[in-house]
Chain A
């Protein structure tokens, strides 16, 4: 992900508590909902000469569809929270304030003194910063959404002078890193410093970390670096790996540790995780596994907001926009594709999961275009199912699991639907499940809570199916 760097451009603040703080004044002005929504939309329109393009060019255009983004209402909620928390926390960490210097000194003293990292030990002068929890099904687009929102802020702001005084500093507005790659505490620390080095663009790890540092020192070093580089917000992705640690994952950092790492020095955290990981808190399992009481963990997880990213549902204007962004009128005008049945089938097959819809739609369009070129008359629904069966073979099991709890119709509009349409929908579900192979043997311990490692993830890998083979099989029908 490219790092955006800008020079500080200080803006007058209406509220007096934000005045005189270069870190707040340098933040971009907040966006209204309409400005934000306009900024978030990403369409990839096919060129007018799409039908005349070579096969490679067509595939290229179709690949670009992966970048399509339609913001939902949760996006602005999250943006508002991010903006408000970032600004609020910078107020407590004004680098020109005496208290911030004292905070930095006390943290760095602990770093030099080889103190033990104590999750309960309060950090001087700064109140605990908040956490924003973002949850949703795997592949629903949480990471993309959060990173797109964070991208509305420059990642690094370079200050040189503030109010006539030299103020030569870099402000790292946000950082995002993945817990999947941080399976141990040490890995987390090195992951953090590698990302910070990438963002600031120079080698800084040596200033904070020695080769044989203990975990305690690494955590103190992360805190010091967060203060020195004025980090505004940290996004921790794939947090299920710390929320739901397994016995094979003993050295994983715990949530209280992560919270202490950043929140206690006033850096707000966005934690994004799958719904499955949150199920831990509903169970009555032994609390010792999570290394903190559940109430404590839940309180820390979402001290500001819990934003749930929902699956797509039919009959919503946002899904229609999303659908039109893929199935563009230039190719699909007056096509069966625009029927409600096709949309419902697409949603049911993909269980409303963004990534699955994207992969299936792109594979479908590739085949549709290829067959159309040969002058075939197409049964779009049949083609969709066939493409699903071939292209989504490894996706099927996790999607099938999701489908059990997924209602393709928008919950708000469901009441208005006729019994007939509900019956049709039921049929679509059973058609989708028709691809499920019979289990070789019965699985046991279904009720057993799965550890983080085995939380099922939808493979987001590249296309592996040769489009020609699908076309060939269609022709044989």
Chain B
């Protein structure tokens, strides 16, 4: 068995693999990965599973089961928040991991997403002092985080589509109160969703969003529905474009009337349960349009999975068209 580096506290699997690569003769990480029989790239945190992780998990098997390894050294649980796990039922863990290694979220926004590995400059300095090396933390790769919990500074990103160890002498930027509050709000949502059965999370959320938009089955001949959806798209584009998360995800500018919002069905397309978009996309929709009380209220009703368009009775008040006009104009 190969000598893999001893994991440091909260170290991400990709960082352990990078340190392993560092101790070899290979000049690029890609060549190291290829020699180890894997073709996957480790270019961004949304790469859920790389076959090389399996070798790492095997090396650490004496202490961590595969499930423990996944939860301790990867962010799969963050990314699988809205994945319908029933798709994997009956499959062996090897098959699931193989599927995950080639898994790609639908690119509804037609822009590159989530392509930066993140680090906290303060943590990097401390790690260098304490452990003699910097490394990537699992916590910092959490898709909805942009503030380091420990130092309350903004997370920085490594070069696009590239994994390496963080530099140790970068200056940090103190997070504003709103940044911190945003992280806390999203964390609250994630905790709420995590307590919900995995197969219900997405269905409940999408159902509530449809209730909010007051469109259950979109009819392009109904001018009322068309206008509502267009207002919703405007708000969506505006919020996305001014989002603090944009820098981590490199979304292009959303413009109502332009792709992917070039048709009035654009929003409806996002709300299809069969589609798997990036989880941050759903979290942002939730954060934009729902409240925790509304979600909690919906939990009091059992989900009718026979009709996913009308699973739960309406518990959310639809957005008033006048509010939409006002919000859209703001």
Contacts and interface: CB of A to CB of B under 8 A. Distances in A.
A169 B25 contact: no
Interface stretch (B129-137, B185-193, B217-225, B315-323): B129-137
A92 to B, nearest CB: 14
Say which size band chain A's interface belongs to.
35 or more
Interface in B1-52: 1-4, 6-7, 22-27, 35
B62 interface: yes
Interface string A76-108: 000000000000000000011111111011001
A108 B23 contact: yes
B167 to A, nearest CB: 14
B150 interface: no
Interface string A223-266: 01001110000000000000000000000000000000000000
Interface in B50-89: 59-60, 62-64
Contact of A202 (B2, B4, B22, B132): B2
Given A100-B132, A208-B24, A210-B25, A168 B59 contact: yes
Q: Secondary structure at chain B's binding surface: helix, strand, loop or mixed?
A: loop
A35 B128 CA distance: 45
A112 B25 contact: yes
Interface residues of B, number: 24
A98 B26 CA distance: 23
Nearest to B25: A208
A168 B131 CA distance: 17
A101 B131 contact: yes
B169 to A, nearest CB: 15
B63 A168 contact: yes
Contact of A98 (B59, B62, B64, B129): B129
Contacts of B3: 169-170, 200, 204, 228-229
Nearest to B165: A105
A207 B2 contact: yes
A167 B5 CA distance: 9
Nearest to A213: B25
Instruction: Give the residue among A101, A170, A208, A209 with the most B Cβ atoms within 10 A.
Output: A101
B60 A168 contact: yes
A351 B201 CA distance: 88
A102 B132 contact: yes
Nearest to A171: B3
B184 to A, nearest CB: 30
B237 to A, nearest CB: 46
Contacts of A98: 128-133
B1 A166 contact: no
B25 A209 contact: yes
Given A169-B3, A202-B2, A224-B23, A101 B133 contact: yes
Given A98-B132, A160-B63, A202-B1, A169 B6 contact: yes
The 8 closest A-B CB pairs, nearest first, are A98-B132, A101-B132, A160-B62, A166-B63, A102-B132, A207-B24, A101-B133, A208-B25
Interface of A: 95-102, 104-105, 108, 111-112, 160-161, 165-170, 200, 202, 204, 206-210, 213, 217, 221, 224, 227-229
